[in-house]
């Protein structure tokens, strides 16, 4: 038994050393400073980017999100929407052009300080196999019990948590499998509220939620975005009607931009997408009523899938 334990420990150590040897792709420049975010204005200036040289992904992308406004990115899958979010979080450096936050080039500041200022509500929330309180507190590890519960309340999940037999001590299971899709997203929203960043990046879930859940989540999201600069990667156009500006992407280029009404008047690519979604919704018709997502309990495994 000891022989096996020692052997396993050696294997684990080897794996750990391999991980430590991984070189960091994105490095801070020497004496990089912390970013100072005051208003949260975001600017993309002639940004070009590719993952592999043979395939250009973003081509001369420029836009400015004024402080506190909400911009939405729409376009078919593969058009480069998520890439914009990844660049802003500096998972990659741009090939040419600049990304500025409050006038500071993000490639010249400390990555850690940049990421502290940005809250992300991803499509798929990463949850730890620990209790819900711990999972929400991940947004700000210094938060006390009261702050965690306030954030949960704002994300419209507090009551739900209290209805679980173990309340905030409920363990969420491996990758949160005991929570439904809507609940997981609300945990992500609560984390972001707790983090209280000036900038919020939101990757809307593609998975179909039933109408009631969608509406509830929409309300909590609006609360998160209030007075914060927000960029939403939108899949359902109905959720971004009120965005200050919609950027329509096609093959790495912004082909149209404007408010919902302006874009409908242009009667171009966006208007096409809008009419397509409307038709789909009408076809789906009453099917939506079959959605059980929000009615499910924490043990509803059908939801967890
Ligand atoms: P969207 O969010 O609009 O669906 P993405 O920004 O995810 O699009 O992707 C844009 C393009 O970049 C796609 O063609 C995709 O195949 C490619 N891509 C995304 N991530 C990578 C990666 N890590 N390496 C290589 N190509 C990638």
22-62 per-position pLDDT tens digit: 888 888 899 889 999 998 999 999 999 999 999 999 999 99
Q: Does residue 96 line the site of ligand 1, with CB under 6 A?
A: no
pTM over 0.85: no
Cβ contact 119:165 at 8 Å = no
Name the closest-CA residue to atom 14, ligand 1.
78
Q: β-pairing, 42-52 with 229-233?
A: unpaired
Q: Tell me the Cα Rg of the chain.
A: 21
Contact yes or no for 281/239 (Cβ under 8 A): no
Residue 28 CA: distances (Å) to CA of 42, 92, 133, 195: 20, 12, 33, 23
Q: What is the per-residue pLDDT across 277-301, written as a single tens digit (0 to 9) for each?
A: 888 777 766 554 444 443 333 333 3
Q: How crowded is residue 285: how many other Cβ atoms within 10 Å of its Cβ?
A: 8
Q: Considering only CA atoms, which of 152, 151, 172 is closest in space to residue 303?
A: 172
For ligand 1, atom 18: residue with the closest CA: 51
What gap in Å lies between CA 112 and CA 66, rounded to an integer?
23
What's the pLDDT band for 157 if we cut at 50, 70, 90?
confident
**Tokens 């914060």 map to which residue?**
228
Q: Whose structure tokens read 């949260």?
A: 40
**Residue 252 Cα: closest atom of ligand 1:** 10
The pLDDT tens digits of the residues spanning 56-96 come to 999 999 999 999 999 999 998 899 999 999 999 999 999 99
């Amino acid at each position: 038994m000891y022989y096996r334990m020692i052997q396993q420990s050696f294997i684990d150590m080897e794996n750990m050393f391999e991980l430590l040897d991984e070189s960091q792709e994105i490095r801070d420049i020497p004496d990089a400073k912390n970013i100072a975010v005051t208003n949260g204005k975001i600017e993309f200036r002639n940004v070009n980017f590719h993952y592999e040289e043979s395939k250009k992904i973003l081509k001369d992308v420029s836009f400015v999100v004024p402080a506190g406004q909400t911009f939405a990115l729409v376009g078919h899958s593969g058009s480069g929407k998520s890439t914009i979010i990844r660049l802003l979080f500096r998972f990659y450096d741009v090939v040419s052009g600049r990304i500025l936050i409050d006038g500071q080039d993000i490639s010249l500041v400390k990555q850690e300080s940049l990421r502290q200022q940005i809250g992300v509500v991803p499509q798929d929330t990463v949850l730890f196999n620990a209790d819900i309180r711990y999972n929400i507190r991940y947004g700000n590890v210094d938060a006390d019990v009261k702050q965690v519960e306030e954030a949960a309340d704002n994300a419209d999940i507090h009551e739900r948590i209290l209805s679980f037999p173990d309340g905030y001590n409920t363990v969420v299971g491996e990758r949160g499998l005991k929570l439904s899709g809507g609940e997981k997203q609300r945990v992500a929203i609560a984390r972001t509220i707790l983090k209280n960043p000036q900038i919020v990046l939101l990757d809307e879930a593609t998975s179909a939620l039933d109408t009631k859940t969608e509406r509830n989540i929409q309300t909590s999201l609006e609360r998160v975005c209030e007075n914060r600069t927000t960029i939403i990667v939108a899949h359902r156009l109905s959720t971004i009607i009120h965005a200050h500006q919609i950027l329509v992407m096609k093959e790495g280029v912004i082909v149209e931009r404007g408010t919902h009404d302006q874009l409908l008047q242009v009667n171009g690519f966006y208007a096409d997408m809008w009419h397509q979604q409307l038709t789909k919704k009408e076809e789906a018709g009453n099917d939506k009523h079959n959605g059980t997502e929000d009615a499910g309990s924490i043990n509803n495994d059908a939801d967890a899938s």
